[in-house]
Structure 1
Amino acid sequence: MTINFSKYTDGLVPAIIQDVDTCKVLMLGFMNEAAFRKTNEEGKVTFFSRTKNRLWTKGEESGNFLLVKKILLDCDADSLLIQVQPVGPTCHTGADTCWNEKNLQGGFLTYLENIIEQRRSGDEEKSYVKKLFSKGINKIAQKVGEEAVEVVIEAKDDNDELFLNESADLLFHYLILLNAKGYRLNDVVNILKERHAQ
């Protein structure tokens, strides 16, 4: 990788930091040759801090490191895209990103899994999720089977709205079943990733 550090008078190139899993842009920093070399050697993103006038490894004080997974160079060889696994929030304010955006692993489905967990262990007796858990694993598994059959039936018809609604019901109940078995969707995704890599 030949980076054109001499294109800019200060010898710095922009480095866009992106979460490798969510693809969310986390922050923007600048690197000189020494910062890039240290990033490569240690596997943690290191910038050249213009305010501190020195190399600065993100997380050196907070412990919120950016673990390097992949580095890409743009077509002009003067900008970097660094895909990382963040350890904790990225911004010094405590936000997930420097644009104050949430960086949810799995996006909305992760959020939904968290809601299911909250309602399962909550004391809201009127909660549908709570009631379903109180009926036990057999009832939860049966409900997934019923929703799967309804998806198949709607797939054979021409009503897209019904098909999508039944698909949503199936996915929701599948998340409940995963939770009941002590797993999360990411456990299934990891198996798919392993199969894909083979």
Structure 2
Amino acid sequence: MNITKTKIVIVFILILSLVACKAQTLPLNTSLVDIPNNAYIKDTNNELIPYVGTYKANFNGNEIILYISKEDNKLEKRSTKQFYRDALVIKYLVKNSSGTILQDTQNNNVYNIELYSISTRPDQNMVHFFYSGTNCSVGWGRIMLKKISPTQLSWEYRPDDIVTTASKCPPTLDTKIYLPETKDLIFTKQ
């Protein structure tokens, strides 16, 4: 084989390798078991956009403000694989009736609190979120937001075992859950 043919074969193999290694793009609600490593779960039907915005509610004397944004290509690391997904990310601010800030995740990563979408239910106008909880993962669990009108969301928060998790945390850390532990709380778009 001459040098020119060898170069052509090498270029062909490189191009074929690049095409084969390109991440596969899949729809938003692809089951976790069907997601290959390094795939991209894309919001092809714009299901996430209607939830983006700033929303407020009051609960037990506290004002809760949700800042919901869409993040494209959010890296998701699991024990057996990693992939990328379009997701809604929630940052929030909780203030008591006198205006004192109880918890603020907007610009403060000290808490390392994560709250992001993991699936949608378009037939129910609902998005499911993973919540990492506060210090020591206290209150981690699932949050569901249901779009009930163009300006209102219904909130449901289902925390996991709070007592066991809190008991493993140093007593100097704040383990209070400031997000509303309730169902059917209405948040209004600002």
Q: Using structure 1 for the length normalisation, give the TM-score.
A: 0.23
Structure that is richer in helix per residue: 1
Q: Using structure 2 for the length normalisation, give the TM-score.
A: 0.24
